[in-house]
Amino acid sequence: MRIGVLTAGGDCPGLNAVIRSVVHRAVTTYGDEVIGFEDGYRGLLDRHYRTLDLDAVSGILARGGTILGSSRLERDRLREACDKATDMVEEFGIDTLIPIGGEGTLTAARMLSDAGLPVVGVPKTIDNDISSTDRTFGFDTAVGVATEAMDRLKTTAESHQRVMVVEVMGRHAGWIALESGMAAGAHGICLPERPFDPADLVKMVEERFARGKKFAVVCVAEGAHPAEGTMDYGKGEIDQYGHERFQGIGTALAYELERRLGKEAKPVILGHVQRGGVPTAYDRVLATRFGWHAIEAAHRGDFGKMTALRGTDIVMVPLAEAVTELKTVPRDRMDEAESVFQTRIL
Amino acid sequence: MRIGVLTAGGDCPGLNAVIRSVVHRAVTTYGDEVIGFEDGYRGLLDRHYRTLDLDAVSGILARGGTILGSSRLERDRLREACDKATDMVEEFGIDTLIPIGGEGTLTAARMLSDAGLPVVGVPKTIDNDISSTDRTFGFDTAVGVATEAMDRLKTTAESHQRVMVVEVMGRHAGWIALESGMAAGAHGICLPERPFDPADLVKMVEERFARGKKFAVVCVAEGAHPAEGTMDYGKGEIDQYGHERFQGIGTALAYELERRLGKEAKPVILGHVQRGGVPTAYDRVLATRFGWHAIEAAHRGDFGKMTALRGTDIVMVPLAEAVTELKTVPRDRMDEAESVFQTRIL
Amino acid sequence: MRIGVLTAGGDCPGLNAVIRSVVHRAVTTYGDEVIGFEDGYRGLLDRHYRTLDLDAVSGILARGGTILGSSRLERDRLREACDKATDMVEEFGIDTLIPIGGEGTLTAARMLSDAGLPVVGVPKTIDNDISSTDRTFGFDTAVGVATEAMDRLKTTAESHQRVMVVEVMGRHAGWIALESGMAAGAHGICLPERPFDPADLVKMVEERFARGKKFAVVCVAEGAHPAEGTMDYGKGEIDQYGHERFQGIGTALAYELERRLGKEAKPVILGHVQRGGVPTAYDRVLATRFGWHAIEAAHRGDFGKMTALRGTDIVMVPLAEAVTELKTVPRDRMDEAESVFQTRIL
Amino acid sequence: MRIGVLTAGGDCPGLNAVIRSVVHRAVTTYGDEVIGFEDGYRGLLDRHYRTLDLDAVSGILARGGTILGSSRLERDRLREACDKATDMVEEFGIDTLIPIGGEGTLTAARMLSDAGLPVVGVPKTIDNDISSTDRTFGFDTAVGVATEAMDRLKTTAESHQRVMVVEVMGRHAGWIALESGMAAGAHGICLPERPFDPADLVKMVEERFARGKKFAVVCVAEGAHPAEGTMDYGKGEIDQYGHERFQGIGTALAYELERRLGKEAKPVILGHVQRGGVPTAYDRVLATRFGWHAIEAAHRGDFGKMTALRGTDIVMVPLAEAVTELKTVPRDRMDEAESVFQTRIL
């Protein structure tokens, strides 16, 4: 069998573990040939690819990033890809295409599948916001990085009677904020799923200080936003080059709290540190299992689907299901976190 | 409501997170009183306990071990506890007892429950071998520690053309060996679930060196054992005090491989390092959720059950179910690992 | 003997290790009494202090922050302290005052010493910018945090053909930027010690990409600044509350590089994460040795001095020497880093 | 200039950082050619070597082990090397040989130097036992690994009222035990520099338990040994293959303490985990500086010396000095540790 693999979208710890697993299973068990397209779908269109043998994936299991590179494909080039899909199958002689990526990549995968390409998808997002899989690899690593950062910040915040506002990733879903906030014992958590009122955070902080606590840590998802009319936010600022720069919610909220509390409040924007580096054991195992099952699906001819975690099992779910809606934080998960941390999730 | 909590059995990262979560939810949401029994069931019998308020659990979320201490209860004292169960309920005025522990502790919990105590159990084992829950807290931390150790060992093994035999925890179930072995890319994995033949490991190592690889790492669960007649093992040795000391499988296997391969093979016994220290974010979240749901169950009067993870949900399962059989590594999980690592799981 | 200890200025991993060491040595070896003033010199003036016995310092060795709290003393209150110094000695019956802090704290310590207080200082700064000591504790931890962050960022930068600009601490001295930049293999390093020209960074990045490298990481000290006329910087922006907010150099430089390179350049501001959390073994040992030698000096009556590391020895140096000038990165250290990383330090 | 580099002896985090630094400085600054001999001196004798250009050392800065491989050279082969030294210089056209290694390697380096080879040595040992340099790279990483392990063990020991005996590396010098023991707050430390009496440890543990402490951690260097007649030790045991196996001091001491205390005492042998993996920032910087200065020395024609750390400076010291005697833990360093931890160093 001839298998093509590519990684697309924002990168994510565990991508190399999937590639390695795909190659190991395909080459050693089935004697398949595996080719890797460079920089996502672009490599497919521009015919940039290389053969991936056992040596090519040696030593990459614990490495962050992706040895294949990644990029986002423009809509029109994607359409182009779909039109040419069947030709490409012939040209490359690919029996299965395995795109590893997030919502956008899987939507493209679905289009290619509808266009007739034999596709097996592997979901990837540190945001953990893909429906029909319990978890995605990369998420655990991102939560771990954010949690360790907050562990560190708590000690310094405590010594200086300071409020720390930590902005973590999560544009549309608050999973990283929810789990790292719970893990680190943040005193307030702001999610994209529910607009927050800064007044609630002010109240929480004041109550803590009244109880003799000397600090507070607020964990904010980058996609969180204040409720209508509660806080002036989102007005872009003009930077020195005349570009309008929007201030992140973490920075804006820290300033707002400092202003309202009359206490020092410092923003910390974790940013891309959450995306990189050595994946946790959890993510390496999940990524490895995804790669293994993708090859099994390919050899079963089980196309148009993606790998997914359900409980402790890896199952195949139709791409159609996977990309219909974003998996956001449900009400009951917010309730859990709230009561434990004695503060409304905002 | 008056709630008693205790931790029993071997300790496990995340115990303090459960205690904290129980106290936070009970005290702040329901205005309950929580008392903690010291050193497991022993504290219950010897009336050693203290009140746990919010201050008592402040700052323990990320701390390993258990602030309540732990111990194993002798069978007869357990029976004693069951006989006195109902009296004790009255004596302490406990409305719910929340024992946090492993198979032994939950069996005791079940007996106490049958004896009429209102019990809500919380499962705990780094071995992840409790049935009817997808995972237990502490396991992820243990796997992380073992994986990081093997990551380190690979670089030094590679530089010295050496075989490393890493013994990880897992007396009756090989989950830690399976997942840390997969995560670290071990070249051989030995589980309690299936007797191994050293000859297979010798073959694997020789094939690797023949392929120009300069090292091999074998991950062995402490409960793994060689197949009948494949290797002389288990004969105790007499130490300098005349005690018979049984050599661990890791050490014995390293010697055996060194002897058969004529190559340096070094044992590394990770031991208790896997049990201690700061829990991973994953374990803190799971432990926190368990504690939260235990209190919910108590207030629903949902007794004789324990908290369990099913997919992404926390559910309550009868203690009866939970302790009937050990959750061991199933055949298909072995298959996954095998093919990825090009070596039979032994 | 009666010994007073306090921690002042920005906090720093290792402060608790010093406090613990002071108490252990003083109490167990000399049978001294130790009192700890709260929130730095403020506790001295406001008479907020508590006795520190062995139990009070149990378990704090590896904890970040300071159990005594910290604050910056306003100049006038400091003068007040000096005027009252001798009275306070009598009032508290202190035989030795041990202030642990940075440049400001040690200057105050010197004034108090000149005013007649028996003072033994312990230097503390994560910036490592105190002269007459080879290193200060906290610095190693900060460098470690910054290095690990850049290790992570390199993998994600590589996968996305991106330039990362990482801003680390160091307002007046670039030690953290120099050592974390060297340790992480940053491709450009900007220090406060020497104004930089963005054009040099642009050149370096373009040369890298020309050589087929797909990313670059630039490490910038928060106190670094562009050479006169090379880049528009430092013009404050008006935020939504009408406050002028100065954009940090990391953010400004990332925008500048993006504009000039036409390539994505992302700023990452590590901020307070560098200050908090578990100190490295190196910092714990150095802090412990400082505390031990401070007590020895107190009992020798060796006042008006501070502990310092010289090679592998701890020596006592006059406070007068210590605070005269900042220890900045010397020319030859820049040369080393430059050539190794094939780029001028800017 | 044509420069040969090799790594010999036990491996050590930071070796790759030296190789990288040597190549960067030599190639980019001086346009030198660098060749790397494989597996230490063996590669020199067997003519196994390869050219090292910038690409060859790309991405190795943070990698443990050594890309050149390592081995110990037998005495006679070493003599052979010395006899052929001058011929080899001509054969390879090497203008400078840079051997990176420990005491054995540097002794060989000195012999080769005496035999007429232009040699610049770089010291390497995780044991930190080379005289005339304040520190060696690899040591900080080893201490960090040992410290983190003891941090973890303390929490589990505390929960189970248990004594932990942790054996760390250090055959002839106790630096790792001293510094990791201090950093982790071990309650007893046993060094090769001074025979210990188990009775002192028993006393210390009993006093701790009498004070209500629930655990103790003892840090033992692998080269530590009991004082004459204090404990039966060192009698080899016959393993199942009839080989005499000597029980490590950590295991023997744990059994001895368990027997005398009547309390559970568990040995943990850290072993090779201390040698491998990602070097700390400190070690990467020191290794990088050593490499840089080795090339400077080569171009100055400053041969027969090795790089050394003195305070914050890198200096060149004659190989003759470096290898005359082992750098062991001096009396005053023991005194510091003792008093802080309220227990004699044994």
- Within an 8 Å CB–CB cutoff, is residue B132 touching chain A? no
With a cut of 50, say whether residue B342 has pLDDT above it.
Answer: no
> Which residues from chain B sit within 8 angstroms of residue D152, using beta carbons?
64, 145, 272-273, 275-278
CA C88 remoteness from chain centre: 30
The model's confidence at residue C232, banded by pLDDT at 50, 70 and 90, is: confident
User: Is the same domain home to A308 and A211?
Assistant: no
The DSSP call for residue A26 is I
With a cut of 70, say whether residue A272 has pLDDT above it.
Answer: yes
Q: How far apart are the C-alpha atoms of A193 and D171, rounded to whole Å?
A: 58
**Residue A331: inside a domain, yes or no?**
no
What is the least distance, in Å, from the CA of A28 to any CA of chain B?
7
Q: How far apart are the C-alpha atoms of C305 and D339, rounded to whole Å?
A: 22
pTM, two decimals, is: 0.94
With a cut of 80, say whether residue D46 has pLDDT above it.
Answer: yes
**Amino acid sitting at position D20:** R
> Which residues from chain A sit within 8 angstroms of residue C266, using beta carbons?
271-272
Q: Searching chain B, which residue's CA lies closest to the CA of residue D259?
A: B241
User: Is the same domain home to D155 and D267?
Assistant: yes
Tell me the CATH number at D40: 3.40.50.450
- Where does residue D207 rank: exposed (0-12), middle (13-18), buried (19+ CB within 10 A)? middle
With a cut of 70, say whether residue B241 has pLDDT above it.
Answer: no
Q: What local confidence, expressed as pLDDT, does residue D244 receive?
A: 55
Q: Which residue is catalytic, options C11, C127, C129, C140?
A: C127
With a cut of 80, say whether residue A135 has pLDDT above it.
Answer: yes
Q: What is the pLDDT averaged over residues C147-169? A: 91
Partners of residue A317 on adjacent β-strands: A306
- Within an 8 Å CB–CB cutoff, is residue C181 touching chain D? no
Is A146 in contact with A201 (CB distance < 8 Å)?
A: no
Non-local (6+) Cβ contacts of B281 within 8 A are: A140, A143, A144, A146, A147, A179, A180, A183, A184
Question: Which of D100, D151, D159 has the most B C-beta neighbours within 10 Å, making it the best mutation to test the interface with B?
Answer: D159
| Nearest to B293, CA basis, from B51, B46, B18, B92 | B18
> Which residues from chain B sit within 8 angstroms of residue D149, using beta carbons?
273
H or E element in which residue C202 lies: helix C198-210
What is the least distance, in Å, from the CA of C301 to any CA of chain A?
31
**Residue A196: inside a domain, yes or no?**
yes
With a cut of 70, say whether residue B197 has pLDDT above it.
Answer: yes
Q: How far apart are the C-alpha atoms of D311 and A47, rounded to whole Å?
A: 56
User: Is the same domain home to A254 and A283?
Assistant: no
- Looking up tokens 């941390």 gives A341
Q: What is the pLDDT averaged over residues C25-37? A: 95
User: Is the same domain home to B284 and B272?
Assistant: no
Q: How far apart are the C-alpha atoms of D57 and A186, rounded to whole Å?
A: 42
ipTM of the complex: 0.94
What total of structural domains would you count in chain A? Answer: 2
The model's confidence at residue B232, banded by pLDDT at 50, 70 and 90, is: confident
Q: Which chains touch D (3 or more CB pairs under 8 A)?
A: B, C
**Residue A174: inside a domain, yes or no?**
yes
Q: How far apart are the C-alpha atoms of B8 and A345, rounded to whole Å?
A: 33
Strand pairing report for A96-101 and A2-7 = parallel
Pick from C21, C282, C293: which is nearest to D282 by CB?
C282
> Which residues from chain C sit within 8 angstroms of residue D62, using beta carbons?
151, 184-185
Question: Which of B71, B156, B263, B280 has the most D C-beta neighbours within 10 Å, making it the best mutation to test the interface with D?
Answer: B156
Is A164 in contact with A219 (CB distance < 8 Å)?
A: no
Q: How far apart are the C-alpha atoms of C27 and C4, rounded to whole Å?
A: 13
With a cut of 50, say whether residue D342 has pLDDT above it.
Answer: no
The DSSP call for residue B55 is G
Give the CA radius of gyration of chain B.
22
**Residue D334: inside a domain, yes or no?**
no
Question: Which of D285, D289, D299, D307 has the most C C-beta neighbours within 10 Å, making it the best mutation to test the interface with C?
Answer: D285
> Which residues from chain C sit within 8 angstroms of residue D134, using beta carbons?
311-312
The model's confidence at residue C133, banded by pLDDT at 50, 70 and 90, is: very high
Q: How far apart are the C-alpha atoms of C267 and C153, rounded to whole Å?
A: 11
Q: How many CA atoms lie within 13 A of D155 on its CB side?
A: 25
Pick from C143, C278, C341: which is nearest to D281 by CB?
C143
Q: What local confidence, expressed as pLDDT, does residue D44 receive?
A: 87
Binding residues of A for Mg(2+): 103
User: Is the same domain home to C193 and C129?
Assistant: no
**Residue A185: inside a domain, yes or no?**
yes
| Residue ending a domain, choose from D243, D260, D276 | D276
- Looking up tokens 């070596």 gives B343
- Within an 8 Å CB–CB cutoff, is residue A134 touching chain B? yes
With a cut of 70, say whether residue C295 has pLDDT above it.
Answer: yes
D73 has binding-site annotation: yes
User: Is the same domain home to D51 and D150?
Assistant: no
User: Is the same domain home to B62 and B104?
Assistant: yes
Is A177 in contact with A220 (CB distance < 8 Å)?
A: yes
Domain assignment of residue D187, given as a range: 142-276
Q: Please state which of the ranges B10-24, B85-99, B284-298, B307-321 shows the lowest mean pLDDT.
A: B85-99
**Residue D289: inside a domain, yes or no?**
yes
D47 has binding-site annotation: no
Partners of residue B216 on adjacent β-strands: B163
- Looking up tokens 């690990």 gives C148
- Where does residue D74 rank: exposed (0-12), middle (13-18), buried (19+ CB within 10 A)? exposed
Query: Quick one: CA torsion of C46, C51, C55, C61, rounded to 10 degrees?
Result: 50
Does the annotation mark A127 as catalytic?
A: yes
User: Is the same domain home to B128 and B225?
Assistant: no
**Mean pLDDT over all residues of chain C?**
90
User: Strand ranges (DSSP E) for D43-169?
Assistant: 49-51, 96-101, 120-123, 163-168
Pick from D10, D158, D268: which is nearest to B65 by CB?
D158
**Mean pLDDT over all residues of chain D?**
90
**Residue C335: inside a domain, yes or no?**
no
User: Is the same domain home to B154 and B205?
Assistant: yes
D83 or A24: which leads in pLDDT: A24
With a cut of 50, say whether residue A342 has pLDDT above it.
Answer: no
Pick from A24, A147, A284: which is nearest to B183 by CB?
A284
Question: Quick check: B185 and A144 CB within 8 A?
Answer: no
Tokens of B42: 């022993």
User: Is the same domain home to A6 and A45?
Assistant: yes
User: Is the same domain home to C152 and C122?
Assistant: no
C169 or C342: which leads in pLDDT: C169
| Residue ending a domain, choose from C260, C276, C292 | C276
CA distances from A81 to A3, A73, A174, B113, B269 (A): 17, 10, 33, 63, 53
Q: Which residues of B78-102 are buried (b: 16+ CB within 10 A; e: fewer)?
A: beebbeebeebbeebebbbbbbbbb
With a cut of 60, say whether residue A344 has pLDDT above it.
Answer: no
Question: Quick check: D339 and C281 CB within 8 A?
Answer: no
The model's confidence at residue A241, banded by pLDDT at 50, 70 and 90, is: low
- Within an 8 Å CB–CB cutoff, is residue B247 touching chain D? yes
Q: How far apart are the C-alpha atoms of C286 and C274, rounded to whole Å?
A: 18
Percent of chain A with pLDDT over 70: 94
Q: What local confidence, expressed as pLDDT, does residue D339 receive?
A: 64
C10 has binding-site annotation: yes
User: Is the same domain home to B174 and B290?
Assistant: no
Q: Please state which of the ranges B135-149, C171-185, C193-207, D327-341 shows the lowest mean pLDDT.
A: D327-341
Q: Which residues of A119-151 are buried (b: 16+ CB within 10 A; e: fewer)?
A: bbbbbbbbbbbbbbbbbbbbbbbbbbbbbbbbb
Tokens of D77: 């082969």
What is the least distance, in Å, from the CA of A63 to any CA of chain C?
8
Question: Quick check: D285 and C182 CB within 8 A?
Answer: yes
The DSSP call for residue B176 is H
Q: What is the pLDDT averaged over residues B249-262? A: 94
Tell me the CATH number at D162: 3.40.50.460
Partners of residue A94 on adjacent β-strands: none
**Residue D338: inside a domain, yes or no?**
no
Partners of residue C309 on adjacent β-strands: C314
Give the CA radius of gyration of chain A.
22
Percent of chain B with pLDDT over 90: 70
Is B43 in contact with B49 (CB distance < 8 Å)?
A: yes
> Rounded to the nearest 5 degrees, what angle is found at the Cα of C183, between the Cα atoms of C181 and C189?
15
- State pLDDT tens for residues D187-223: 999 999 999 999 999 999 999 999 888 899 999 999 9
- State pLDDT tens for residues C92-126: 889 999 999 998 899 999 999 998 899 999 999 99
The model's confidence at residue A79, banded by pLDDT at 50, 70 and 90, is: confident
- Within an 8 Å CB–CB cutoff, is residue C342 touching chain A? no
Question: Which of A310, A336, A338 has the most B C-beta neighbours within 10 Å, making it the best mutation to test the interface with B?
Answer: A336
